[in-house]
Amino acid sequence: MCKKGDAEFCSELGRDSSSWSSDAPLEKPDWIQDSFQLLVDAITYASAGKIELARSILRNSRDLEMRTWYHVHAQNIATWRSETLTMEAPEPILPLDPENRFSKFESILFARDNYQCRYCADPVIPKKVFKKAQSLIGSTDLPLGRTNLTRSGFYLMFVATLDHVMPWSLGGRTDESNLVTSCWSCNYGKADFTVEQIGINNPLDRKIELKTENEVDRLLKVAFAKPKSAADSH
């Protein structure tokens, strides 16, 4: 989100609400979408033992620019959208679901959604793949810190999480009928607003593009493949 200050609108979103995406709070620009393949290449090389090549790819990427884009524009974009649309939040459905943690659903729902954000449709990678890649590449070139300012831009753009379509704070349930795969940009950008409040379509109504195997399926196999022994290589 553009820092409020004297700004009248988010420069990345634009002033004209008729031009806003009807699917994602804020679509990633092409240069960020194109950066996904660099991340795939870096993880693939690292998993093959080509660590310096993986590091070189990340060092020469636009990682810092992605981190800045997330911090300045993406994570609070719903504030701009909701203030323009001025739709009031519904009354919470009480009692709230006592369960608000969704980790037990991650594997099955990431697979269900073909490792794609159900809002922007961009590919996402599970945290365990990032952690495995960091163990090979190192935290200098692939930082996964505790704050957004100490995390890789690749992580902020492409790590997988789940989103409550109807916000948990408004009575949304923590189950498969209300959870969708999301990138952090869309998840934190949507915040605790309903899709109606920020003027986007319900992602549960969006058709999933199914493939026999995608890049993330392959990465999961590559990153966690059993290393070959010396005997296996002969």
- pLDDT tens for the chain, 234 residues long, are 465 555 778 899 998 999 999 999 999 999 999 999 999 999 999 999 999 999 999 999 999 999 999 999 998 899 899 999 999 999 999 999 999 999 999 999 999 999 999 999 999 999 999 999 999 999 999 999 999 989 999 999 999 999 999 999 999 999 999 999 999 999 999 999 999 999 999 999 988 876 656 788 888 888 887 654 434 433
Nearest to 39 by CA among 183, 167, 204, 227: 183
Residues 6+ apart with CB under 8 A from 3: 72
Domain positions in the chain are 22-208
- The answer to whether the CB of 61 falls within 8 A of the CB of 38 is yes
Residues 6+ apart with CB under 8 A from 22: 199, 200, 201
- DSSP element (H, E) containing 85: helix 77-85
- The answer to whether the CB of 106 falls within 8 A of the CB of 217 is no
Predicted local distance difference test score (pLDDT) of residue 218: 85
CA distances (Å), 23 to each of 2, 9, 37, 129, 164, in order?
A: 20, 20, 23, 27, 15
Token pair for 66:
């992605």
Q: What is the pLDDT of residues 80-113, one digit of tens each?
A: 999 999 999 999 999 999 999 999 999 999 999 9
